[in-house]
Structure 1
Amino acid sequence: MKKSLKKVRLIILMTALIVTYFFCERLLGIKTEHGIRQASDMYVQPEDSIDVVFLGSSHIHTNVNTAQLWSEHGIAAYDYSGADQPLWMSYNYLKEICKYQKPKLVVLDLFSVAVYDTEYFKDFIFLSDNLNGFKFSLNKIEMMKNSCRFETLADHFPSFVTWHNRYKELSEVDLKQLFATDYERMAFKGYTPYFGVEEKAEPQEVKEVTELEPKEAEYLQKIKDYCAENDMELMFVTAPHVEEADKAHEIYNRVEQMALDEGYLFLNGMKLFDELGIDCSKDFNDESHLNYWGSCKYTRYLGKLIKESYELPDRRGQEGYESWDRHVEEIKRKVEQNA
Structure 2
Amino acid sequence: MMKKFLLQVLGFIAVFFLLNFVVGYLYNIPVKESIKNKTHKNYLKYSKIHDPSNKYNLVFLGSSRGYTAYNPVIFDSILKTKSFNMCTSSQNVIESYYVLKDILQHQKPTTMVYEMFLQSFDTTDDYYQILSNASFFESTQLKQDMIINGFGLTGISNYLSPILCNKLYIKAAIMGLIAGGNDTASNNKKTSYWVAGYLHEEKEVSQHTINNFEKMVTPNNTAVSEKKLEYFKKIVALCKENNIELVCVRSPYPPTRLQNEKIQNLNALSEYFKNLCLQNQVTYYDFNTVENRSFKYLDTDFSDSHHMNYKGANKISVQLSEILKQ
Deviations 1:168-212 (A, max 9, x none): xxxxxxxxxxxxxxxxxxx95211111101154899999987994
**Aligned counterpart in structure 1 of residue 271 of structure 2, from 233, 236, 253:** 253
Code of the residue aligned with 2:241 in structure 1: it is: E
Output the CA distance in 2 between the equivalents of 1:193 and 1:206: 26
Query: Which residue of 2 is the match for residue 11 of structure 1?
Result: none
What TM-score results when the alignment is normalised by the length of structure 1?
A: 0.64
Query: Which residue of 2 is the match for residue 87 of structure 1?
Result: 93
Question: Is the counterpart of residue 115 in structure 1 residue 123 in structure 2?
Answer: no
Output the CA distance in 1 between the equivalents of 2:216 and 2:34: 46
Query: Which residue of 1 is the match for residue 18 of structure 2?
Result: none
**% of aligned pairs identical?**
22
Deviation at 1:300, TM superposition (A): 0.5
Query: Which residue of 2 is the match for residue 166 of structure 1?
Result: none
**Aligned counterpart in structure 2 of residue 63 of structure 1, from 60, 69, 84:** 69
Alpha carbons 2:95, 2:130 under 8 Å: kept: no
Question: Is the counterpart of residue 235 in structure 1 residue 247 in structure 2?
Answer: yes
Deviation at 1:298, TM superposition (A): 0.5
**Aligned counterpart in structure 1 of residue 311 of structure 2, from 288, 293, 299:** 293
Distance 1:65 1:211, change over 3 A: same
Q: CA RMSD in A?
A: 3.6
Output the CA distance in 2 between the equivalents of 1:118 and 1:204: 16
Deviation at 1:72, TM superposition (A): 2.3
Alpha carbons 2:91, 2:120 under 8 Å: kept: no
Deviation at 1:103, TM superposition (A): 0.9
What TM-score results when the alignment is normalised by the length of structure 2?
A: 0.66
Code of the residue aligned with 1:294 in structure 2: it is: G
Code of the residue aligned with 2:239 in structure 1: it is: C
Output the CA distance in 1 between the equivalents of 2:232 and 2:134: 20
Alpha carbons 1:54, 1:107 under 8 Å: kept: yes
Alpha carbons 2:121, 2:224 under 8 Å: kept: no
For residue 200 of structure 2, give the secondary structure of its aligned residue in structure 1.
coil
Output the CA distance in 1 between the equivalents of 2:292 and 2:217: 17
Query: Which residue of 2 is the match for residue 318 of structure 1?
Result: none
Query: Which residue of 2 is the match for residue 131 of structure 1?
Result: 134
Code of the residue aligned with 1:228 in structure 2: it is: K
Question: How many residue pairs are counted as aligned between the two chains?
Answer: 252
Deviations 1:93-128 (A, max 9, x none): 1111111111111211111xx03564421x534334
Code of the residue aligned with 2:251 in structure 1: it is: A
Output the CA distance in 1 between the equivalents of 2:195 and 2:283: 28
Query: Which residue of 1 is the match for residue 190 of structure 2?
Result: none
Output the CA distance in 1 between the equivalents of 2:321 and 2:214: 24
Deviation at 1:277, TM superposition (A): 2.5
For residue 282 of structure 1, give the secondary structure of its aligned residue in structure 2.
helix
Deviations 1:43-62 (A, max 9, x none): 12525x21111111112221
Code of the residue aligned with 2:287 in structure 1: it is: G
Alignment of 1:161-310 (within 5 A): 189-198=196-205, 200=210, 212-241=224-253, 250-272=268-290, 275=293, 277-308=295-326
Output the CA distance in 2 between the equivalents of 1:307 and 1:284: 26
For residue 223 of structure 1, give the secondary structure of its aligned residue in structure 2.
helix
Alpha carbons 1:205, 1:271 under 8 Å: kept: no
Output the CA distance in 1 between the equivalents of 2:271 and 2:294: 19
Query: Which residue of 2 is the match for residue 37 of structure 1?
Result: 44
Q: Which moved more, 1:145-154 or 1:278-287?
A: 145-154
Output the CA distance in 2 between the equivalents of 1:126 and 1:59: 15
Deviations 1:27-67 (A, max 9, x none): 5488432x3422232112525x2111111111222110101
For residue 199 of structure 2, give the secondary structure of its aligned residue in structure 1.
coil
Output the CA distance in 1 between the equivalents of 2:93 and 2:35: 31
Query: Which residue of 1 is the match for residue 4 of structure 2?
Result: none
* Structure 2: tracts of 5 or more residues without a match: 1-31, 164-193
Code of the residue aligned with 1:271 in structure 2: it is: T
Distance 1:276 1:40, change over 3 A: farther
* Structure 1: tracts of 5 or more residues without a match: 1-23, 158-186, 309-339
Distance 1:277 1:221, change over 3 A: same
Query: Which residue of 2 is the match for residue 319 of structure 1?
Result: none
Output the CA distance in 2 between the equivalents of 1:215 and 1:282: 37
Alpha carbons 1:205, 1:249 under 8 Å: kept: no
